[in-house]
Chain A
Amino acid sequence: MNLYEKTASELSRMLQSREVSAVEVTTSFLERIDQVDPHLKAFITRTAEQALDTAGRIDYFRQQGEQLHPLAGVPVAVKDNISTMDLRTTCASLILKDYIPPFDATVITALKSAGMPILGKTNLDEFAMGSSTENSAFFPTRNPWNLDRVPGGSSGGSAVAVAAGMAPLALGSDTGGSIRQPASLCRVTGLRPTYGRVSRYGLVAFASSLDQIGIISMNALDSALFLNLIAGYDPLDSTSLPGEVPDYTAGLEPGLEKLRVGVIRYGSTEGFDPEVTEMVQKAASLLEKSGANVGEVSLPLTDYGLSAYYLIAPAEASSNLGRYDGVRYGFCAGGDSIEEMFNRTRGKGFGPEVKRRIMIGTYALSAGYYDAYYLKAMKVRTLVRRSYEEAFKKYDLLLGAASPTPAFKLGEKTGDPLQMYLSDVCNITDSLAGVPSLALPGGAHTSGLPLGLQLTAPPLREKLLLQMACFFEKYSEQAPRRPVLDFIEGGSSDEL
């Protein structure tokens, strides 16, 4: 088995027992990237040299017998909307095409101090606005399970990097499903922690009250290991949560007795693939057979939640993206007056979806419309939060689908923004409520494409999500874990 096929926990163990060196591990992933990324296009920027540098340093420290973090030498890919010092951070936008930040995001500081080699920055929908990674200003990323299909988005690059063995772990960001939906479409595990559990400092803002950095990995244990590193209060982020961080890797073997699970009944299942509904039912019966109390929970606000989300998120985005004016950094188109410079810079620098959301958001916040749109959406958000509080009085955990359909074709929804927005329908209310949510492989569609389950827990109960993910992993061992990449000679070697 190639090193790039190992999970992060396996690599961590092998590195600690000195079975392999960090340079060997990193080299394996870098070679894999060279081999498959030209076809998949998960990375915007690759940082092979720096990664090997870090790996070399870690090997030296290990030789010196220094105490190292369990993830020392385990490489990682980073979504390109997370600020990395001296390394360009584009948000997949022309407006930040050449922007090199002078500071690291708090999560990046954590990765660096743990000694994780950073392999590169991954593709996304421009400013994380989209569900297919087709809104990248540079190129779309392709789904490794079927190159004609999208990987989901906006963290499509990170999901593909992990799914195709180009990185054992990746950082993503989730505003309204941007980790969970692509994880589901690429058959990897995607965790959106509680809002505030992981610092947002250095995450380029899309919608501040919804944005959350999270993890894409091959399994729950890897997520737990990584979450141990990045979770916790950050004095640089006023919205980050105080309080102790548990050891997420401890006690992941679950006992299901008396666990109360609510299966989500969506307000409308229009547009849901019947096999998705079936997958959720199967998972529910598995839990029941294993001793859990399974009931049904209806979240009738799901439909309103989607509408509220597509007002609140664009409203915040319209404000967050105002700073890209060509004055201080990033792309500047020039002009004969300051207004002309602003207009030309923003006109040329932003792509169509970003412009659409800026316009929706500007409209929703405008005098005379604020009460009807933004304020009403905020009221719906409060109701959504309350309906979760109610649901969590009856259930410990909610179970549903991570995406209403398997991966759709490239170009299939680009002409119809509303259809595209609906692909986040399963994820968005969790985001509005700020609760932790995890997508995990749920089986295969008859087309061979992956399907994903989604688990949702009360605030700060990430551990419960990881325990349940471990439980499901035990029952899905027979399904193929990795996609077969036909374009590589002897592609079958990728099958496990």
Chain B
Amino acid sequence: MNYDVVIGLEIHVELLTASKLFCGCSTAFGREPNSNCCPVCLGLPGSLPVFNRRAIELALKAALALNSEVQLQSRFDRKNYFYPDLPKAYQVSQYDQPLARGGYLEVEFEDGIHRVHLERVHLEEEAGKLIHAGDSIIGAGHSLVDYNRAGIPLLEIVTAPELHSGREARYFLEDLRTVLLYSGSSDCKMEEGSLRCDANISLRPKGSRELGTKAEVKNMNSFRSVELALDYEVGRQERVLSEGGKVIQETCHWDEEKKQTIALRSKEGSSDYRYFPEPDLLPLVLESSFIEELSRQLPELPARRRERLQEQYGLEKEEAFLLTANRDLGDFFEEAAKEYPDYRHLAKWVQGDLLYQLRESLKKVDELEPGLLADLLLLLDEGKINRPVAKELLAEMVKTGADPKEMVKDRGLEQISGRDTLLPVVEKVIAENPEAVENYRRGKKKALAFLVGRVMAETQGRADPAELNRILQEKI
């Protein structure tokens, strides 16, 4: 391609508060339309906004986690425009005095780790939701409005135009999500709309410094669709430019079904939002001690933790990545590691069998006692149980939270490794299967596996496989 791709993202994240930004209405998702509403979030005449302190705390934690510089004084402004989902015909947002400026996130792309810079982080209120009759926003006969969402606190994060492909955008977003989850600011569920992403994308001839005309892409509802939509848009703009055409500044809608971007409206003569300071709210003035306190409350963030997991536990980079992608999983690992010294072995079980069992039983890792996995692996290492039994017990443990030591004791699952105990069983199996013994002697190695299987069956799977092999080979 003869062009450089320049992408900047504008991410909106719903903060994880119980109530809305300016009133006491619930933020719960999926309630009956227009049931989480009051005079304030409906913008009824005479109603006034009052800050939700928790929203400010969560916004600040997110900003701090993103290395953004929190401003001791910031201000709220009205962004004026008419739209049916906007109850007051203005959105309370922040214009020239945002909550935090700058910041960055270190993201691993295919060619190494990049520092992606942020322009700003600010707090604003969510609009309601339009439901259009028919399938499409274009040409709907009528529309319905649900204001349950109106007034939910929203964090806007704006990146510098430093991303260069759909894949980079996706990687950035995935890492951003992880950091925000660590900070506890948002649940970041793209499918429920608590994390949304719009992208500005433009192409310029390779080597050129001047930015090309950009298009804005909206309605990307998953990480995958961000990648697909942006790659599609890169292709589209490239075609337009290489055919000698011009990219128009416009807003496009990603159509998930058709897998293409569709132009919604031209942005020429762009809207004038007539921003001005919100007179119903006082400027937000923060004490540095308050910011420091919030900073202390932040957990260790994924990037730092990844490094530490590699240093402290001798894990591979991929292992460290996997264990930090979910904060609870990392916590689980580190708790279990206190009682189990073979960290690499533990990591393999956590990211392998444990994750599998959690998915199977629809459980979350924080529901499980880390010490139990440590106990289970100790039983295995001490040779008290064998691997198949360990896997069975893990499944049981995840489902019911049962203690593996007790299960072993109660059910008599302990491994049989004593020669005296195994010998009579082996002799019995040899006597009952002369054909297999004959086959083995003729060189059919598979026959041995058959005989091992028979012994296992006789011992309910508890025989020590190594010891069993030794005795069998000795006897035949």
Query: Are the C-beta atoms of A238 and B281 separated by less than 8 Å?
Result: yes
Query: Are the C-beta atoms of A365 and B280 separated by less than 8 Å?
Result: no
Give Cα distance in the complex from A329 to B89, angstroms. Answer: 13
Note all chain B residues with C-beta closer than 8 A to A338: 84, 143
Query: Are the C-beta atoms of A325 and B82 separated by less than 8 Å?
Result: yes
Q: Can you name the residue of chain B whose Cβ is closest to the Cβ of A367?
A: B272
Q: Does A287 contact B (CB under 8 A)?
A: no
Query: Are the C-beta atoms of A362 and B46 separated by less than 8 Å?
Result: no
Determine, out of A5-13, A20-28, A95-103, A479-487, the stretch whose residues face the partner at the interface.
A95-103
Give Cα distance in the complex from A374 to B276, angstroms. Answer: 9
Q: Does B51 contact A (CB under 8 A)?
A: yes
A-facing mask of B15-54, CB < 8 A → 1, else 0? Answer: 0000000000000000000000001001111111111000
Q: Does A258 contact B (CB under 8 A)?
A: no
Q: Does B78 contact A (CB under 8 A)?
A: yes
Give Cα distance in the complex from A205 to B39, angstroms. Answer: 14
Q: Can you name the residue of chain B whose Cβ is closest to the Cβ of A105?
A: B46
User: Nearest chain B CB to A285's CB is how many angstroms away?
Assistant: 41
Q: Can you name the residue of chain B whose Cβ is closest to the Cβ of A207?
A: B279
Contacting residue for A101 out of B46, B48, B272, B279, CB 8 A: B46
Q: Does A322 contact B (CB under 8 A)?
A: yes
Determine, out of A138-146, A195-203, A419-427, A441-449, the stretch whose residues face the partner at the interface.
A195-203
User: Nearest chain A CB to B45's CB is how many angstroms away?
Assistant: 4
Q: Does B223 contact A (CB under 8 A)?
A: no
Give Cα distance in the complex from A96 to B39, angstroms. Answer: 16
Query: Are the C-beta atoms of B88 and A323 separated by less than 8 Å?
Result: yes
Query: Are the C-beta atoms of A82 and B46 separated by less than 8 Å?
Result: yes
Contacting residue for B46 out of A201, A319, A325, A327, CB 8 A: A201
Query: Are the C-beta atoms of A238 and B46 separated by less than 8 Å?
Result: no
With A91-B45, A99-B45 given, is the CB distance from A238 to B280 under 8 Å? Answer: yes
| 8 Å CB interface, B257-314 against A | 272, 274-276, 279-282
Note all chain B residues with C-beta closer than 8 A to A204: 45-46
Give Cα distance in the complex from A236 to B24, angstroms. Answer: 11
B50, B87, B88, B89: which has the most chain A beta carbons within 10 Å?
Answer: B89
| 8 Å CB interface, A198-238 against B | 200-205, 207-209, 235-238
Q: Can you name the residue of chain B whose Cβ is closest to the Cβ of A315?
A: B276
Give Cα distance in the complex from A322 to B279, angstroms. Answer: 15
Note all chain B residues with C-beta closer than 8 A to A103: 39, 44, 47
B49, B82, B87: which has the most chain A beta carbons within 10 Å?
Answer: B82
Query: Are the C-beta atoms of B48 and A200 separated by less than 8 Å?
Result: yes
With A323-B88, A327-B84 given, is the CB distance from A238 to B272 under 8 Å? Answer: no
A-facing mask of B41-72, CB < 8 A → 1, else 0? Answer: 01111111111000000000000000000000
Chain B interface helix/strand/loop/mixed: loop
Query: Are the C-beta atoms of A101 and B82 separated by less than 8 Å?
Result: no
Give Cα distance in the complex from A327 to B88, angstroms. Answer: 11
Note all chain A residues with C-beta closer than 8 A to B45: 83, 89, 91, 96, 99, 101, 204-205, 323
Give Cα distance in the complex from A89 to B44, angstroms. Answer: 12
With A315-B276, A328-B87 given, is the CB distance from A238 to B282 under 8 Å? Answer: yes
With A319-B89, A325-B82 given, is the CB distance from A366 to B274 under 8 Å? Answer: yes
Q: Does A316 contact B (CB under 8 A)?
A: yes
The contact size tier of chain B is: 20 to 34
Q: Does A266 contact B (CB under 8 A)?
A: no
Query: Are the C-beta atoms of B280 and A208 separated by less than 8 Å?
Result: yes
Contacting residue for B88 out of A201, A207, A322, CB 8 A: A322
With A103-B39, A316-B279 given, is the CB distance from A201 to B82 under 8 Å? Answer: no
User: Nearest chain B CB to A463's CB is how many angstroms away?
Assistant: 25
Q: Does A408 contact B (CB under 8 A)?
A: no
B-facing mask of A78-90, CB < 8 A → 1, else 0? Answer: 0000110000010
B-facing mask of A174-192, CB < 8 A → 1, else 0? Answer: 0000000000000000000
User: Nearest chain A CB to B286's CB is how many angstroms away?
Assistant: 16
Query: Are the C-beta atoms of B274 and A365 separated by less than 8 Å?
Result: yes
Give Cα distance in the complex from A367 to B273, angstroms. Answer: 8
Give Cα distance in the complex from A209 to B283, angstroms. Answer: 13
With A204-B46, A236-B48, A315-B276 given, is the CB distance from A322 to B87 under 8 Å? Answer: no
Contacting residue for A329 out of B44, B90, B276, B280, CB 8 A: B44
Give Cα distance in the complex from A325 to B83, angstroms. Answer: 9
Q: Does A342 contact B (CB under 8 A)?
A: yes
Note all chain B residues with C-beta closer than 8 A to A105: 46
Q: Can you name the residue of chain A whose Cβ is closest to the Cβ of B39?
A: A103
Note all chain A residues with C-beta closer than 8 A to B476: none
User: Nearest chain A CB to B123's CB is how many angstroms away?
Assistant: 15
Note all chain B residues with C-beta closer than 8 A to A205: 45-46, 280
Give Cα distance in the complex from A201 to B281, angstroms. Answer: 13
Query: Are the C-beta atoms of B282 and A239 separated by less than 8 Å?
Result: yes
Binding site for A on B (CB under 8 A): 39, 42-51, 78, 80, 82, 84, 87-90, 143, 145, 272, 274-276, 279-282
Instruction: List 14 extra interface pairs beyond A365-B274, A366-B274, CB under 8 A.
Output: A82-B46, A91-B45, A96-B45, A99-B45, A103-B39, A103-B47, A201-B47, A202-B47, A205-B46, A238-B49, A322-B82, A322-B90, A325-B89, A362-B274
List 20 contacting pairs A-B, 8 Å CB cutoff, sorted by A: A82-B46, A101-B46, A103-B44, A201-B46, A203-B46, A207-B279, A238-B48, A239-B279, A239-B280, A315-B276, A319-B89, A319-B90, A322-B82, A323-B87, A328-B42, A365-B274, A365-B275, A365-B276, A366-B272, A367-B274
Which 3 pairs of residues, A with B, have the shortest CB-CB distance? A322-B89, A209-B279, A365-B274
